[in-house]
């Protein structure tokens, strides 16, 4: 599986094609189909999402989750690591972010054999995973399997907004025809931008790449480094592929 170098990460919606993927000994291709789906509204979320709560080793068939709500035995799921890359803050010039060979962006499809609840909620898979995944920055997404998909004009399929743990990805498979007269969209649903703060805070950190106290800058935009986003991650430096905070001359910044 390849993960190209990224100048700016984009968490995008995907319609999964019939490529060879792992976690089952046979090829999942276009799924089991059988359901003819027609979108009914403009902002329809068709996926269910759950955060992975413990490290998952390659070769295991069990994935601990924060919640198994929305998942059932027989479901097709997408396992994907969203973040997990460290970074140092850079100045004005964008830096090439190389993800090849690293954990960020690793994904595979798997078939759920059974759902476990109780003290530790988990999915048990029909076959072992091919890759390892980190806790907290990996999510499992239920992928609907359709026969035909119709998206009429005025309707659309969208990703659930990324909240720092889950979301940002739209995925389904279809064995037959996909007719899209509406929208299939994940734009603006990925990594979060820096939050707005009023200028009356007396900010003085115009030259600081980073700051950790109120008044030392504004929020950085989120990226593949999960440790550089929040109310004490400030400044105008670029954290990996996240945008620098919008302070002083960079007052239009803060893009995720």
Whether residue 147 is predicted with pLDDT greater than 90 in this model: the reply is: yes
Strand, helix or coil for residue 250 = helix
**Measured torsion, CA atoms of residues 97, 101, 105, 106, in degrees rounded to the nearest 10:** 180
Domain span at 181: 1-190
Residue 44, in any domain of the structure: yes
Residue 255, in any domain of the structure: no
Claim to verify: residue 18 and residue 43 sit in the same structural domain = yes
d(C-alpha 29, C-alpha 16), whole Å:
9
Claim to verify: residue 77 and residue 150 sit in the same structural domain = yes
The whole model's pTM is what?
0.72
Q: Are 186 and 170 in contact (CB under 8 A)?
A: yes
Average pLDDT, the chain: 76
Identify the pLDDT of residue 163: 87
Identify the pLDDT of residue 15: 52
Claim to verify: residue 28 and residue 129 sit in the same structural domain = yes
- 174/5: higher pLDDT: 174
Claim to verify: residue 67 and residue 124 sit in the same structural domain = yes
State CA 129 to chain mean position distance.
Answer: 19
Non-local (6+) Cβ contacts of 195 within 8 A are 219, 231, 254
State CA 167 to chain mean position distance.
Answer: 5
Claim to verify: residue 235 and residue 179 sit in the same structural domain = no
Whether residue 216 is predicted with pLDDT greater than 50 in this model: the reply is: no
Residue 256, in any domain of the structure: no
Whether residue 108 is predicted with pLDDT greater than 70 in this model: the reply is: yes
Whether residue 134 is predicted with pLDDT greater than 60 in this model: the reply is: yes
Whether residue 188 is predicted with pLDDT greater than 60 in this model: the reply is: yes
Q: Each residue of 21-77: pLDDT tens digit?
A: 455 544 566 677 778 999 999 999 999 999 999 999 999 999 999 999 999 999 999
Claim to verify: residue 58 and residue 108 sit in the same structural domain = yes
Number of domains present in the structure of the chain = 2
């Amino acid at each position: 599986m390849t993960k190209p170098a990224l100048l700016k990460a984009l968490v995008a919606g995907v319609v999964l094609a019939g490529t060879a993927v792992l976690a089952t000994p046979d090829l999942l291709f276009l799924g089991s189909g059988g359901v003819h789906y027609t979108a009914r509204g403009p902002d329809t979320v068709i996926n269910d999402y759950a955060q992975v709560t413990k490290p998952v080793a390659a070769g295991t068939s069990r994935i601990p989750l924060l919640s198994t709500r929305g998942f059932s035995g027989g479901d097709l799921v997408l396992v994907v690591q969203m973040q997990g890359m460290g970074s140092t803050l850079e100045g004005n010039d964008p830096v090439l972010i190389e993800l090849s060979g690293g954990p960020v962006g690793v994904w595979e499809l798997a078939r759920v054999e059974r759902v476990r609840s109780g003290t530790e909620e988990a999915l048990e898979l029909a076959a072992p995973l091919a890759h390892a995944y980190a806790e907290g920055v990996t999510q499992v997404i239920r992928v609907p399997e359709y026969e035909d998909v119709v998206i009429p004009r005025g309707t659309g399929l969208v990703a659930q907004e990324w909240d720092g743990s889950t979301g940002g990805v739209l995925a389904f498979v279809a064995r037959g025809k996909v007719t899209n007269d509406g929208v299939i969209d994940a734009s603006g649903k990925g990594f979060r931008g820096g939050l707005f703060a009023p200028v009356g805070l007396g900010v003085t950190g115009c030259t600081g790449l980073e700051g950790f106290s109120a008044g030392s800058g504004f929020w950085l935009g989120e990226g593949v480094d999960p440790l550089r986003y929040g109310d004490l991650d400030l400044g105008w430096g670029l954290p990996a592929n996240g945008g620098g905070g919008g302070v002083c001359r960079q007052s239009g910044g803060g893009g995720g």
